[in-house]
Structure 1
């Protein structure tokens, strides 16, 4: 009975997240009410508040759900026991780009975060959540790069902070541009080329070395 109750709660949570994804994608975050999400999910507003404190937490959970399949690769790139951290990072980059191009859920969530995410006064927590996420993501990138340096895959004098910022900006820039102008490039076909180009920059650019 307890297991069934937990399964039902998880199912309701997923219903809410799926409904929120479609509502946010259609109207934007700030213009979507929790009542609209509840109606779309077939639940009460009370059910939403049972699972999520506010709309900001709902957005965060939505993003975490779509990124869950990427966690093993991300963790592997930072694992000191991983013999090929740069290879895992390349695989992660390729997967990120290809999922955006081929996975409708990943593409919708990307559209929401890049183009339908307004930091309005009533969503003050959303900005804080995004700041926290990007800070943590940057730290993970730096750890992965540091692991690749330790394995001799990147220059030992690589400036991890600058290199990490460039890599982070490259990922978000490619996704932002492609989501707005998807006809400009076949992102699925060019995923490996894009990943290799940024890794080449990390390996070869003198500007990314410590002074």
Structure 2
């Protein structure tokens, strides 16, 4: 009986998160109430507070159900992170392109990223969402800076600006591409244009991908 109760609680939690994704996508986060989510999930408002402290906690739990591909690729211990020791530039570039391709192919991931980028206002009870966003961004910039620093060392070059600033520029480029693509995914092919502009940016840093990589 205890196991069944636990499974039922997990099922309710997933229904609430699924309902939140759907409503946040349709209405935006600030215009969706916890009661709206409970009703859509066939649950009570009390069920929401059993699983989540508030809307920000629910939002962050929704985000944690998907692993953003660039974060995953650069995490210590991942195959991509281990490959950095051999070819930091090639692996950083590949990680970014994998992330863009996955975003294009995975509708669920794309929906959650669209909510995070286009459908949330960092006001009132959503300050915790902003804090999480900043934490994820800062960690990603540190990982990119580490890769750029290592790539420059492997190439026997010196970056034209500090690695952290170079990483912030590259992150802003990726972020801007994704935001504009999400506005209208028919405007351009995200992985194709992403590869072109990222290679131009890396070349501007004095780092050029190997010819074989550019032709992939």
Q: TM-score, normalised by structure 2?
A: 0.78
Deviations along 1:157-187, whole A, 9 cap, x unmatched?
4521111111110111001111113232122
CA contact (8 A) 1:80 1:147 kept: no
CA contact (8 A) 2:122 2:129 kept: yes
> Among residues 99, 111, 123, which one is paired with 2:114 in the alignment?
111
Query: How many Å separate the matches in 1 of 2:97 and 2:131?
Result: 28
Query: How many Å separate the matches in 1 of 2:68 and 2:8?
Result: 21
- Structure 1 stretch displaced more, 129-138 or 167-176: 129-138
Query: How many Å separate the matches in 2 of 1:70 and 1:7?
Result: 32
Deviations along 1:114-172, whole A, 9 cap, x unmatched?
2211122232322223222222222222233234345x047344521111111110111
Does 2:162 match 1:155?
no
Q: What displacement does 1:12 show?
A: 3.3
Over the aligned positions, Cα root-mean-square deviation in angstroms equals 2.9
Does 2:138 match 1:129?
no
1:169-180 alignment to 2 at 5 Å? 169-180=172-183
Query: How many Å separate the matches in 2 of 1:11 and 1:70?
Result: 29
Q: What displacement does 1:194 show?
A: 4.2
CA contact (8 A) 2:177 2:190 kept: no
> Among residues 197, 204, 208, which one is paired with 2:200 in the alignment?
197
Distance change in 2, residues 1:157/1:203 (3 Å): closer
Query: How many Å separate the matches in 1 of 2:190 and 2:111?
Result: 15
Report the count of equivalent residues. 204
Query: How many Å separate the matches in 1 of 2:2 and 2:157?
Result: 53
Structure 2 unmatched ranges of 5 or more? 209-216
* Secondary structure at the counterpart of residue 30 of structure 2: coil
* Secondary structure at the counterpart of residue 66 of structure 2: helix
Query: How many Å separate the matches in 2 of 1:137 and 1:42?
Result: 37
Structure 1 unmatched ranges of 5 or more? 206-211
